[in-house]
């Protein structure tokens, strides 16, 4: 069973869960089998009757959060420290 939280989040998406549920949680609705799921899911506009979705249309997908800058790996950090140490030692030998 595919369920969707009735109230959308601030960005227009709906929390969702697909699995072997027997009970639809309060505040959620069941998407009937066979209902067409827009490609924008879970950014959708829905109409519900009780805890059953009766209509689902495509919503607007916002720009994704920029990927966080990858942290330097341990090897990269060691290489940076080695280079800094080398520069220091070179400086003291002048």
Partner 1 sequence: MENLVPLGTGNSRFMKSNIQASTTLAQLIQMLNNGTFPYDIGPLNPAGISQQGTPLNKATLLKDATAALFGFGVDALPDDMFNALAHTGDLHVWKRTQNGEVDYPVSPNPDAYQDGTSGNTTIEYLGQLGNKAQIATGSYVGTGTYGANNPNTLTFDFEPKIVILWYQISTWENSANVFLLRWNYTTQFAPGASTNSNASDYISYITYSGNTISWYNANHPLYQLNNVGNTYSYLAIG
Residue numbers of the site for partner 1 (CB under 8 A)?
A: 9-11, 13-23, 25, 28, 41-42, 61-62, 64-65, 67-68, 71-72, 74, 77
DSSP bridge pairs for 2: 18, 31
Is the Cβ of residue 20 or residue 34 nearer to partner 1 in the bound state? 20
Encoded tokens for 81: 């420290």
Q: What is each CA distance from 69 to 54, 55, 74, in whole angstroms?
A: 42, 40, 15
Closer to partner 1 by Cβ: residue 11 or 52: 11
Measured from the CB atom, the residue of 48 and 61 that comes closer to partner 1 is: 61
CB of 18 to partner 1, least distance (A): 5
Q: Which two tokens stand for residue 33?
A: 């089998």
Region of 80 on the Ramachandran plot (φ > 0 left; ψ -120 to 50 alpha; else beta): alpha
Under 8 Å between Cβ of 33 and 3: no
- Rounded to the nearest whole angstrom, what is the least distance from the CB of residue 37 to partner 1 in the complex? 10
What is the smallest separation between the CB atom of 77 and partner 1, expressed in angstroms? 8
């Amino acid at each position: 069973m595919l369920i969707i939280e009735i109230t959308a989040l601030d960005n227009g998406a709906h929390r969702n869960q697909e699995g072997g549920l027997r009970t639809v949680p309060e505040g959620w609705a069941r998407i009937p089998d066979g209902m067409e799921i827009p490609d924008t899911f879970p950014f959708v506009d829905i109409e519900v009757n009780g805890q059953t979705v009766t209509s689902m249309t495509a919503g607007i997908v916002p720009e994704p959060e920029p990927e966080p800058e990858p942290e330097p790996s341990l090897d990269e950090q060691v290489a940076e420290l080695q280079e800094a140490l080398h520069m220091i030692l070179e400086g003291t030998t002048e």
